[in-house]
Amino acid sequence: MKSDSYTSYFRKDIDEMEGYAPGEQLNIPELIKLNTNENPFPPCPGVFQALANVDPERLRLYPNPTSDPVRDEIAKMFGLTRDNVIACNGSDDTLSITVRCFSSATLPIACLRPSYTLYPTLAALHGAPVKYIDLADDFGMPDDVLDQLKGTNLFLIARPNAPTGNSFPRELMENICANYRGMVLIDEAYADFAADNCADFVNRFPNVIVSRTFSKSRSLAGLRFGFALAHPRTIAGMMKMKDSYNVSYLTQTLAIAALRDTEYFTDCVDKIRMAREMLLAGLLDLGFEVVPSETNFLFAAPPDGDGERCFRELRARNILVRYFPYPRTKRYVRISIGTSNQVVKLWAVLAELYGDNRK
Ligand SMILES: Cc1ncc(COP(=O)(O)O)c(C=O)c1O
């Protein structure tokens, strides 16, 4: 068919926008894949066991529409009730539900810059204006954040932030949540790797949603499971917006198995934190500038300040990291923390490239 024979019936803004561009998912065996903050370790043994026990006959039936068994497990873990929890198809589903619930053409959203670029994309898809709040030079929160938030209805904050990796002080978060007249979504995709989190805010601030995912700390990015904690009224409203069966039977079953294997989980998180500190020391030694990280990745600027060159040179040597070609991020690459073995290989390549700057 000739391409010019296509008549578009899309909304004009959808036709004109760029879609969200996820990190590449290449399947090259020798590739060291450090570009999408996946976990280098396999899911916990309990997940393997639960998968082996799945009866395919069960897949004939719809899953529990509101994922009640897994919500109960999560509620228990946080000392909350089922009414405080919504289960989602990955945290991107949580974010999409939230944007659709709390924004519109006349209810703008606010997000930090640089931060997770899916936020403005979701707003654009939904026809909601975006107020960008630029982070300070050190990627901290600007002092006048509350002033800048005026007139917006939803503030999306990744804490710790991505792609920068740093966190924001809890007192600052408390101040924002207490004084902002709108909904705050705290995206805690990386909180399991951090020194603290804001899960307890759910009991204290009715305008807070805390979002978590199994994609990073629980090695289950392919499963697609995330959840959010919030006031029961907020959860009830979000339930209206979600797809009827937004979490599959397989996902619900395996998510429960993952939650019960606490020892393996803690062990994996510890190993990643250790590998993160090892890579940090190695990068500093080569003259990189590295943002303090509370995540499973490091945001690092090579000594020549050319993030794109670093990305390309690594890629040519079968190491894939992420490069964001925007004004505030172009000096850096974002490197997901792999196994200590992968960290050693990465460092050897970087030492070849930047060894002259060695301290
Ligand atoms: C800040 C942040 N939030 C959410 C996500 C999405 O996670 P999920 O796989 O649960 O959709 C990511 C993924 O990279 C992320 O960086």
Mutate to test the pocket of ligand 1, among 33, 89, 111, 213 (most ligand atoms within 8 A of CB): 213
Distance CA(157)–CA(236), nearest Å, equals 22
Ligand 1 in reach of 221 Cβ (< 6 A):
yes
Mutate to test the pocket of ligand 1, among 35, 39, 116, 210 (most ligand atoms within 8 A of CB): 116
Q: What are phi and psi of 322, to 5 degrees?
A: -115, 140
Tell me the pLDDT of the chain (359 aa) as tens digits.
556 799 999 999 999 999 998 887 877 878 999 999 999 999 999 999 999 999 999 999 999 999 999 999 999 999 999 999 999 999 999 999 999 999 999 999 999 999 999 999 999 999 999 999 999 999 999 999 999 999 999 999 999 999 999 999 999 999 999 999 999 999 999 999 999 999 999 999 999 999 999 999 999 999 999 999 999 999 999 999 999 999 999 999 999 999 999 999 999 999 999 999 999 999 999 999 999 999 999 999 999 999 999 999 999 999 999 999 999 999 999 999 999 999 999 999 999 999 876 66
Is 355 within 8 Å of 349 (Cβ atoms)?
no
Going from the Cα of 333 to the center of ligand 1, the distance in angstroms, rounded, reads 18
Ordered structural domains, the chain, with CATH: 21-43+263-357 (3.90.1150.10), 45-260 (3.40.640.10)
Going from the Cα of 92 to the center of ligand 1, the distance in angstroms, rounded, reads 6
Ligand 1 in reach of 165 Cβ (< 6 A):
no
Distance CA(251)–CA(167), nearest Å, equals 30
Going from the Cα of 48 to the center of ligand 1, the distance in angstroms, rounded, reads 23
Helices (H) and strands (E) in the chain, counts: 13, 12
CA distances to 27, 185, 259 from 77, rounded to whole Å, are 36, 20, 9
How far the first Cα of the chain sits from its last, in Å, is: 61
The residue among 267, 271, 269 whose CA lies nearest residue 343 is 271
Ligand 1 in reach of 162 Cβ (< 6 A):
yes
- Give the three-class secondary structure for 123: helix
Ligand 1 in reach of 187 Cβ (< 6 A):
yes
Residue 355 has a pLDDT of 85
Residue 28 has a pLDDT of 81
Distance CA(13)–CA(176), nearest Å, equals 32
Residue 27 has a pLDDT of 78
Residue 3 has a pLDDT of 60
Going from the Cα of 230 to the center of ligand 1, the distance in angstroms, rounded, reads 18
